[in-house]
Structure 1
Amino acid sequence: MRIARWTRGDTVHEGFVIGDGVVSFPRGLTVADVLAAGLAALPALAAEAEGDAAASAVPLAEVRLLAPLVPASVRDFVAFEEHVEGVTASIDGKSHVADEWYEFPTFYFTNPHSIIATGDELRPPTTERLDFELEVGAVIGGVAGSDGRDLSPAEAARHIFGYTIFNDWSARDIQGREMKVRLGPAKGKDFGTTLGPWIVTADEFDGLVDDEGFLPIVMEVFVNGERIGRDLLSNMGWPFGDLIAYASRDSRVVPGDVLGSGTAGNGGCLAELWGRAGELTPLPLTAGDEVVMRVEGIGEIRNVVGRARPVPEIPAARRRPRARERA
């Protein structure tokens, strides 16, 4: 099943994508309601909606898709070894994967308030190294009897409601500068993340998941019609169950959380290719470039890069006397 949010006129609707049309959830339910109820409640809801589909369906061509959910939080992992190899070469001049990468799946929190949808124009910051990142996001749903804390990998996998395409837009020059302070990424990332075009429920992939929990679906990214990268999601170092279990350790995952796979290898972002080439080839993204991502079994997202807008200046740090008492 596919779950979406969309506008028609000035009204926001939330519901199912059925064939080439959309049908609102019954009883005014929202995506957040459906995620909280979890996958187990979905078949009955879908049967209820399909009963009205013939009369109430609206063609997809007549609506504007929104991001398929308003995330409770967004965690983004770095789970593809090949991506790490290329990006470290771009930053440090040589390819290297730290020993610590293999020990546990590292992530950072990104901005849930900067989510954009397929078809939206990206507003970038002022940057000379704008990049995309090809990822898949796992969307968390409710599971009866679980509060989402300290999950085992097997328990965590049962919390996956579905999957969506995830583009973690990145300003590499800003990211590199701020991470020298041993924090971040922050402003190099939080200006935009595309989620979409919808959520495809996890049961749609049951026949593809291997014995270790990996999902071998094809991921591709194109810039202005030219394919830049192609990889399999199963090249992650950990399956999503492991990522979710780590996120829940001494913490909690809740319905509506989104966890990114991290960037695919083999051209999943430009920075990887810059590191391997030793130069900015292909060129960084600029205004007017169109980025299209396609993931097998999920669909396609596309965005055009807009122009940076002026922002207020913030002064550099003021030198302070390091006094310990008020004068």
Structure 2
Amino acid sequence: MKIARIGIGDATRVGIVDGDRVQPLAAETDLSELLAAIPAQRAELVERTKDGEPRPLSEVRLLAPVQPRTLRDFLTFEEHLEGSLKVMGAAAPHPAWYDQPLFYFTNTNAVLGPDDPVAVPPGSRKLDFELELAAVIGKPGKDLSPEQAAEHIAGYTLFNDWSARDLQAIAAPVGMGAVKGKDFANTLGPWIVTADELAPYRRDDRLALDMHAEINGVALPAGGDTSANMAWSFEEMVAFASRGAELLPGDVLASGTCGAGCLLEYWGRTGTEEPPPLRPGDVVTLVVEGIGSVSNRIVAGAGPVAVPKARVGQRRRPRPWSTT
């Protein structure tokens, strides 16, 4: 089942996508209830809450399929990590990367949907995209095992972790993360494909979905990747994220960028900025097998607001460890 959030006029509804048509559900339909249901219950809930006849997708506006409370972005593709590190002159990933599936929290207030414009963030001249797959939590859970975690994943969607590489580089030496380099936009879409529908794509303990990106309708020259190359499965990622922390319906856990899934990797491996950074007018499309595609157009953004540098040399209070 493909679960979408759609705009019909000024109203937002949950809809079920089938081919090029979408069945709107009643206004009171709870997306969380739909995500938490097992397949048989989900089908019954959809049948009970249908509102009118199916509509052509062209007559509705696809919104981000979920508005997550939390959005964790992992780093599970070794090829992407290696290529990105070349920009910084690093020879190999840090050994700590291999020990556990690390992630950072990104800005849930900046979630965009299909076809929403992405404004160049203030002060950036090196805008990049990142091709990722993401799991959506259906049932709450804490301290889960990977086996238990499988029951808590409602489905999967595409995720574009937009990145301002120059802003990211400024903050990197401090060690606090990407800061403004990833604070401005995250795309989810086009819909959530339920886990049972993607079961035929499973290979051993993980999904094996082909993934590629296009800029202005042209696929990147290095080709795409497959989610089978993730160093950890989504079930393992969910289990790790749930250690000492409760995951709630609608929470999103992204895979991290796949191999050759962003411009930074090209720059790192070739030593040139080819393909060039994104510019206003460019359209980026992410395509993942079994799910679909999501596109966004880059538009001009605002200029940066001036902020002063740190005020240093302030009078400090005496401390027990003071020597003067």
Short-chain TM bin? over 0.9
1:251 to partner: Cα distance: 1.2
Instruction: Mark the CA change 1:286 to 1:195 in structure 2 (over 3 Å): closer, same or farther.
Output: same
Residue 69 (structure 2) aligns with: 72
Residue 305 (structure 2) aligns with: 312
**Does 2:132 align with 1:140?**
no
Please give the per-residue CA displacement for 1:23-48, whole angstroms capped at 9, x wherever unaligned.
22246213233234465631211333
Opposite residue 107 of structure 2, the aligned amino acid is N
Determine if contact 2:13/2:26 at 8 Å carries over to the other structure.
Answer: no
Q: Matched residues in 1 for 2:130 and 2:198: separation?
A: 23
**Does 2:266 align with 1:273?**
yes
**What are structure 1's unaligned runs of at least 5 residues?**
none
1:206 to partner: Cα distance: 1.2
| Secondary structure of 1:188 counterpart | helix
Determine if contact 1:38/1:141 at 8 Å carries over to the other structure.
Answer: no
Determine if contact 1:86/1:95 at 8 Å carries over to the other structure.
Answer: no
Instruction: Mark the CA change 1:259 to 1:35 in structure 2 (over 3 Å): closer, same or farther.
Output: same
Determine if contact 1:14/1:25 at 8 Å carries over to the other structure.
Answer: yes
Determine if contact 1:136/1:260 at 8 Å carries over to the other structure.
Answer: yes
Q: Matched residues in 2 for 1:38 and 1:309: separation?
A: 45
| Secondary structure of 2:174 counterpart | coil
Q: Matched residues in 2 for 1:27 and 1:76: separation?
A: 31
**Does 2:249 align with 1:252?**
no
Please give the per-residue CA displacement for 1:100-141, whole angstroms capped at 9, x wherever unaligned.
111000100001110111111101212121100000010000
1:254 to partner: Cα distance: 1.1
| Secondary structure of 2:206 counterpart | coil
Percentage of matched positions with identical amino acids: 46
**Does 2:56 align with 1:59?**
yes
Residue 111 (structure 2) aligns with: 115
| Secondary structure of 1:151 counterpart | coil
| Secondary structure of 1:272 counterpart | helix
For the aligned residues, what is the CA RMSD? 1.6
Determine if contact 2:203/2:228 at 8 Å carries over to the other structure.
Answer: no
| Secondary structure of 1:204 counterpart | coil
Give the TM-score normalised by the residue count of structure 1.
Answer: 0.92
Q: Matched residues in 2 for 1:131 and 1:293: separation?
A: 13
**What are structure 2's unaligned runs of at least 5 residues?**
319-324
Q: Matched residues in 1 for 2:209 and 2:202: separation?
A: 9
Q: Matched residues in 1 for 2:270 and 2:165: separation?
A: 16
Question: 194, 199, 212: which is aligned to 1:206?
Answer: 199
**Within 5 Å, which residues of 2 pair with 1:223-234?**
223-228=215-220, 229-234=223-228
Question: 74, 83, 86: which is aligned to 1:86?
Answer: 83
Determine if contact 2:36/2:154 at 8 Å carries over to the other structure.
Answer: no
**Does 2:156 align with 1:163?**
yes
Q: Matched residues in 2 for 1:9 and 1:160: separation?
A: 31
Q: Matched residues in 1 for 2:32 and 2:146: separation?
A: 24
Determine if contact 2:32/2:138 at 8 Å carries over to the other structure.
Answer: no
Aligned length: 315
Question: 99, 102, 116: which is aligned to 2:98?
Answer: 102
Please give the per-residue CA displacement for 1:236-267, whole angstroms capped at 9, x wherever unaligned.
001100111110012121111000000000x2
Question: 293, 300, 304: which is aligned to 2:286?
Answer: 293
Please give the per-residue CA displacement for 1:56-111, whole angstroms capped at 9, x wherever unaligned.
211111111110011111000000000000000012x2441111111000100001
1:166 to partner: Cα distance: 0.3
**Does 2:173 align with 1:180?**
yes
Q: Matched residues in 2 for 1:38 and 1:261: separation?
A: 24
Give the TM-score normalised by the residue count of structure 2.
Answer: 0.93
Opposite residue 210 of structure 2, the aligned amino acid is V
Q: Matched residues in 1 for 2:317 and 2:38: separation?
A: 54
List structure 1 runs of 4+ shifted beyond 6 angstroms: none
